[in-house]
Structure 1
Amino acid sequence: MKTIVIDGLGLIGGSIALVIRKQWPDHQIFGVDVNHNSLVSAQSSGIIDGGFPRLQDIAAAADVIILATPVRIILDHMDQLADMRLKPGVIVTDVGSTKQQIMVKAKRLTGKGINFIGGHPMAGSHKTTISAARANLFQSAYYFLITDTLSDQNAVKDLQSLLSGLHVKWQLVSAARHDRIVAQISHLPHIIASGLVNMSQDEFSQSPLSLRLAAGGFRSITRIASSDPEMWTDILLSNSDTIVDKIDKFSDRLGQIRQAIVSSDHEAIHDYFHQAKITRDSINAQAAAHDPNFYDLFINIPDRVGAIAQVTHILAEAKINLVNIHILEIREEVDGVLQLSFSNQQDLTRAKDELRQHGLSVVRGE
């Protein structure tokens, strides 16, 4: 039996606790959170065995400490841990969204013989509280382990064993490369999505109807703008140099297409979209060829009460596990497209057959 301490019982920390509880029922799991209600909720639902408002109240008893707070708090709590007397052989890991500042701070811990393993599961949601936690959140997602401090391979294996119930794909990467990757594929898109929403609010401030009409592609590409503002402020400030570089490069791209429009350069405009289409299509092809994270099924969904409930009921009756569901486009009196994600090809094929048998129109499955 091991004692696991999870510092931060939000979506990620709570979901990890759920997985550990399910796979390792004999382990003791303690939560740390400044939100008393989160601790009460987690304990009453059996996710944790006890809760504490401060890390120093329980850290000394831990065999594994998982830091699942915002990055700035992770950094502060790493300093606290460096000044504590911890168990010999304790493993300290984090799930922070940026890594370079954390790995610099980790030197204080490793210098005292503490096993620190930087990590980041590439999974999440715009919902960030313990109430949104679920055990399948990480299924088939990539989980980065940061190579900067992976000196003890036994500790790495122990951590991977503890978290094996997450069913993730482990990926080794340096802190610097990690921060460049997430800045491009996660941080910059969040900035752009929020900018589009804010611009639309300003543009349509005198015409509320126009904003309500926003649907289809606009709603799809700006969905991530619903994410937690405090969390994203923290992320941007902890990876500022890299993100500023990405913003500058994207601004250059916008400047190029702006100039092409001003000068009526048909060829440049066509190439702008053509190259994007080639690259985007190749992403789909590569994902299909290299064991994709999810297997997606797209169906037409009519605009009527209970339409989505009908779909989920059909899948539940057939005992087909649905990993994720996403409305790509829905407008009044117009059919929308529902994206259903499954963890394997077999579930996708069965779902396609079941839905067709019930008269639903499958757009495509991939």
Structure 2
Amino acid sequence: MKTILIDGLGLIGGSIALAIRKKWPDDRIVAVDVSPAVLEHAKRSGIIDEGSLQLNAVAADADVIVLSAPVGIIIDHIKTLAELSLKPEVIVTDVGSTKQEIVKHAQKLTEKKVIFIGGHPMAGWHKTTISAARADLFQSAYYFLIDDTLIDERHKAAARALQGLLSELDVKWLTVSASRHDRIVAQISHLPHILASGLVNMSQNEFQSSPLSLKLAAGGFKSITRIASSDPTMWTDILLSNRETLIDKINRFHQYLERVRQALAASDRESIRTFFEKAKVTRDNLNEQTGAHAPNFYDLFLDLPDRIGSLARVTRILENAKINLVNIHILEIREDVAGVLQLSFSNQEDRLLAKRELNRHGLPTIRGDQ
């Protein structure tokens, strides 16, 4: 029996705890969190065996320590662990959204012969509390392991042990350097969060004298700004820990906006059309571009009638057929009318089975027929 310490019981830490509990029910799971209510909820729900408000009170007994707090706290707690007497073969890992700063500070652990493996599961939601945690949150998602921390065979063996512990997550493991990781997430995660929040703030300012205008925002606006509902404190930490890369990304995105502004000023129809055409082609072919090492998702789309129980009927059909649904999303065209339901599956077989079952129950798909 191993003792697993989860430091931070938010969405990510809670989901990891649930997955470990499901795969390794005999292991002892201890959690650290600043909220007594969160620890009590997790213990009452059977997610953890024990909770503590202080990392230094429980770290010495841990065989694996998962740092799953915001980036700034992860760095502080790495410093704390470096001052403690830990088990000789303890594995310390993190799930922070940026890696270079964390890896730099983790050198303190390496100098003390403590094994540190940098990691980052590329999955999440705008809801960040333990109440949103799910054991299948990471299914078919990337899970980065940071090459800079795999410094010798001892660390590589520890990484393999960590992958075994987290096998219930059902992720796609990918090894990258800390610097490459931070460039990737700056482009596909951090910059989009800045843009979504900026668009919401701009809209709020634009419509201050007309509150009704913001209420008229339809599905497209809500879809691209959904991530603006994310935890402000967490995202402040993330951006500051990746600030140099993000400053460069913001400058480069400004250049794209300036080209569009210039095309509009010149009434340059062809440049504007090319701008949208290039984006459409790339977006429509994301699955093909991701390559063999990336998780592909297979989607079905169907009209969702605006009736009580419509969504429940769809999920009940899939549940009865034992078809695993990775994600579900309502693509609203306008408020208060029928939407398009996007159903995502982790493989082609599940998508085809779902299509057949839904069609059999009188729910024809409108896309995803290939």
Identical positions, percent = 67
Residues 255-310 of structure 1: per-residue CA shift (max 9 Å, x gap): 11101100112222122112212222232333487664322111111222222122
After TM superposition, list the pairs within 5 Å mapping 1:157-172 onto structure 2.
157-172=160-175
Q: Is the 8 A contact 1:303 1:331 kept in 2?
A: no
Matched residue, 2:4:
4
Q: Is the 8 A contact 1:303 1:330 kept in 2?
A: no
Which of 236, 241, 244 does residue 233 from structure 1 map onto? Answer: 236
- Aligned partner of 2:213 in structure 1 is 210
Partners of 1:93 and 1:117 within 8 A in 2? yes
Secondary structure at the residue paired with 1:331?
coil
Residues 1:237 and 1:288: Cα distance change in structure 2 (over 3 Å): closer
Partner of 1:52: 52
1:344 aligns with 2:347: yes
Match of 2:319 in 1: 316
AA at the equivalent of 2:235? W
Q: Which residue of 2 aligns with 1:248?
A: 251
CA 1:296 to 1:25, structure 2 compared with 1: closer, same or farther past 3 Å?
A: same
SS for the counterpart of 1:362 is: coil
- The one-character-per-residue Cα deviations of 1:10-65 (angstroms, maximum 9, x if unpaired) are 11001101111111111111000010111111111111110000100010001110
Asked if the contact 2:141–2:295 (Cα under 8 Å) also holds between the matched residues in 1, the reply is no
Counterpart among 353, 358, 363 of residue 361 in structure 2? 358
> TM-score under structure 1 normalisation?
0.96
CA-CA distance at 1:330 after TM superposition: 4.6
Provide the rounded CA distance (Å) in 2 between the counterparts of 1:286 and 1:252: 25
Counterpart of 2:88? 88
Q: How does 1:280-291 map to 2 (within 5 A)?
A: 280-287=283-290
Change (3 A) 1:155 1:27: same
Give the match's secondary structure for 2:21: helix
Find the aligned partners of 1:14 and 1:332 in 2 and give their Cα distance: 33
Question: How do 1:28-67 and structure 2 match up within 5 A?
Answer: 28-67=28-67
Q: Contact (CA 8 Å) 1:145, 1:172: kept in 2 or not?
A: yes
CA separation of 1:10 and 1:216: change in aligned 2, threshold 3 A: same
| Distance in structure 2 (CA, Å) of the matches to 1:292 and 1:175 | 21
Q: How far did residue 104 of structure 1 move?
A: 0.4
Match of 2:177 among 152, 174, 178: 174
Aligned 8 A contact 2:174 2:293 in 1:
no
Distance in 2 of aligned mates of 1:29 and 1:166: 16
Q: Can you give the 5+ residue segments of structure 1 that lack an aligned partner in the other structure?
A: none
Secondary structure at the residue paired with 1:17?
helix
After TM superposition, the structure 1 stretch with the greater mean CA deviation from structure 2, 273-282 or 224-233, is 273-282
- Offset of 1:316 from its aligned partner? 2.0
Q: For 1:312 and 1:282, how far apart are their aligned partners in 2?
A: 27
Letter of the 2:366 counterpart:
V
Letter in 1 for 2:138: F
What SS does the aligned partner of 2:301 have? strand
Can you list the C-alpha shifts for 1:61-87, whole angstroms capped at 9, x where unaligned? 011100000000000000000001100
Q: Which residue of 1 aligns with 2:198?
A: 195
1:78-110, Cα deviation, whole Å (9 max, x unpaired): 000000110001100000000010010011100
CA separation in 1, counterparts of 2:76 and 2:358? 51
Alignment gaps of 5+ in structure 2 = none
**Is 2:156 aligned against 1:153?**
yes
Aligned equivalent of 2:73: 73
Structure 1 residue 269 and structure 2 residue 272: aligned? yes
- May I ask how many residue pairs the two structures share in their alignment? 366
Alpha-carbon deviation of 1:193?
A: 0.8
Alignment CA distance shift 1:25-1:256 (3 Å): same
* Aligned mates of 1:288, 1:342 — CA distance in 2: 17
Deviates more, 1:157-166 or 1:272-281: 272-281
Counterparts of 1:350 and 1:157, CA distance in 2: 34
The residue type equivalent to 2:274 in the other structure is: D
> What is the CA RMSD across the aligned residues, in angstroms?
1.5
Asked if structure 2 preserves the Cα contact closer than 8 Å seen for 1:303 and 1:332, the reply is no
Distance in 2 (CA, whole Å) between partners of 1:182 and 1:333 is 35
Q: Secondary structure at the match of 1:341?
A: strand
Change (3 A) 1:150 1:283: same
Contact 2:328 2:341 in 1 (8 A): yes
| Partner residue in 2 for 1:130 | 130
Q: Is the Cα contact below 8 Å between 1:329 and 1:337 reproduced in 2?
A: yes
Q: Distance in 1 between matches of 2:293 and 2:78?
A: 37
Residue 367 of structure 2: SS of its match in structure 1?
Answer: strand
